[in-house]
Structure 1
Amino acid sequence: MNASTWQAELCVDSRCELGEGPQWHAAQKRLYWCDILGKHLHWLDPATDSHASVALDQMVSCAAPVNDGRLLLVGERSLVLFDTERQTQTPLCDFEADNPVTRSNDARVDHHGSLWLSTMGKNAEHGAGSLYRLHRGELVTLRTGLTIPNAICFSADAQSAYFTDTPTGQVMRWALDENGWPVGEPECFADFSAYSGSPDGAVMDSEGCIWLSLWGAGEVVRLDTQGQIIGRIELPVDQPSCPVFAGAGLETLYITTAREGLSLEKLAETPTAGSLYRVETGIAGLAEPSLQLV
């Protein structure tokens, strides 16, 4: 079967150094995303295309919607609750605060309202990263010895979690118990180790397929339940980092991208690298719950 192909269009010319962590806040009808290295939180109202951002005091990789209306900022040294109306911050807990080597990376809320989140070395130091689950306010370590943990998402039936350690090129599937905790060892779901791009952020759609960013390849691929590519979104920039479904009916796919590490020549060729892109695929996303802290 031939894979469907779409072209992404520029949505917000934000030119983040490292755009990441897009999250749809259904109650606010806002899309949030982060510039990790630029230490900014961005948001977009898809209904009006209005965009704004705020400076942060640490590198933050994700702003996850909390069920009380606030955001949880996943930072390099702490988890912080952010009131978007008052723009006030309330510390929740430290997050590898005693490890100056690492920063936060990928994160996504599971079907139980718990947040899976990861860390990595600031210079991608081998094995410096870890994978955690924030469950009812308690931070539990799930896995250590990872390098660039990414692609966190969950099957529609809540029986599997997916993630990748980007340098390995493999997307892993991990069985979950009835409370959302991993069971046994993860298994390889899709192998991109011989591919031109590296697996980065991912999101699940309403049909049980995964949309996976391929860093360096300038594309997001759609994987079926067997891990086979059945769709492809082409971008005019090389480093897509993470997709998310947002807007009315979760019918638009937004994609964060990055400028990090690009040469001056490459930036001249792709000046909108680091910006937010979107595409209408005709396929709706899978609704994600808000984070529950208690």
Structure 2
Amino acid sequence: MRTIARSAVESAHRSLDQLGETPLWCDKERVLWWLDIEKPTLHRLDPATGQHDARAFETQFLGSLALAGHDEKLIATDLTLNRLAADGTLDPMLEVDAGLDNRLNDGRVDPSGRFWVGTMDNQLRRPNGKLYRIDADGTAHAMIDDIIVSNGIAFSPDGGTGYFTDTRRHISWRLTIDPDDGAIIGREVFADYSRTGDRPDGATIDAEGCLWQAFFAGSRIVRYAPDGRIDTVVEMPVTNPTCLCFGGPDFRTLYVTTARKFLSDNQLAAEPLAGSLLAVEGIGQGVAEHRFVFS
């Protein structure tokens, strides 16, 4: 197992995100997008020029983000999934979990163009959440229930394997998926941290089909081989790495969002990069994000 020291981690953009999340590299624009969920803001960074733009939203939470066709995006506001047009127009698509004290959280588009997104309990303790599959026609299908905090959604390059995490149950699952219709035909525990209380958070897949996952309150990122073996640990200079993606022209930059949430004043003073977008160069190679396909 290799260990990457925290000295290899750099600041890609200094920020004060309360809950930075969902970094996505757009290979068309060659820019990085990400969210601050709790200070609801959509960020855009062009690493080549350093140009940074931010758009605030009038909502309690931003929860999820995905690329879509025609330079559009999917973006979640509370329990509503919206279509964000290239001109900035925001159009609601659907709402889930109506009446529950939940919000939409982590999501990812699979290789067939379907969007998988989970909901979570705002009090972080009740199993009110679900994992949904959103099809091209905009219909939502509940795939897994009894979830506290949905997270860590990722897919193998062929789309036959999915990964899904409940951060507050401290468990990640490996899903066997029918790529044709998106049905889950198998589910098994991939990594179980229920005894230690570790909190696996956002995840991404690399070009070799290995899973990279951030550990909230764990100051690290790990890379799992498909058989569940950890072969790489990246030590982070912050307590709360939240999610990650590969980007750059050759997908060899690992971008990591971070959070200031739950940190004491002493911790914040000791972690000047908490809430910033971080980057690690040359430790792996990713693949392009899939785009949601509208029917």
Alignment TM-score, normalising by the size of structure 2 = 0.93
1:39-88 deviation digits (Å, cap 9, x = unpaired): 1111111222221111012211222111111111122131112234x322
The answer to whether the 8 Å contact 2:256/2:279 transfers is yes
The answer to whether the 8 Å contact 1:60/1:76 transfers is yes
The answer to whether the 8 Å contact 2:100/2:128 transfers is no
The answer to whether the 8 Å contact 1:22/1:62 transfers is no
- In structure 1, runs of 5+ residues without a counterpart are none
5 Å matches for 1:83-232?
83-84=85-86, 86-96=87-97, 98-136=98-136, 137-179=138-180, 181-195=182-196, 197-232=198-233
Deviation at 1:140, TM superposition (A): 1.0
Matches of 2:142 and 2:259, distance apart in 1: 28
1:104-154 deviation digits (Å, cap 9, x = unpaired): 110001010111001101121320111101111211111111001111001
Matches of 1:117 and 1:39, distance apart in 2: 18
> Structure 1 vs Structure 2: percent identity of aligned residues?
34
SS at match of 2:12: strand
Please say which of residues 191-200 and 40-49 is displaced more in the overlay.
191-200
The answer to whether the 8 Å contact 1:251/1:283 transfers is yes
172 and 87 in structure 1: CA distance in 2 versus 1, 3 angstrom threshold = same
1:143-186 deviation digits (Å, cap 9, x = unpaired): 11100111100112211110111122221001111325233441
Root-mean-square deviation over aligned CA pairs: 1.6
Matches of 2:124 and 2:27, distance apart in 1: 33
Matches of 1:281 and 1:215, distance apart in 2: 23
Matches of 1:163 and 1:183, distance apart in 2: 12
Alignment TM-score, normalising by the size of structure 1 = 0.94
The number of equivalent residue pairs is 291
Residue in 2 that maps onto 1:71: 73
The answer to whether the 8 Å contact 2:3/2:235 transfers is no
Matches of 1:236 and 1:282, distance apart in 2: 17
Q: Which runs of 4+ in 1 moved over 6 A?
A: none
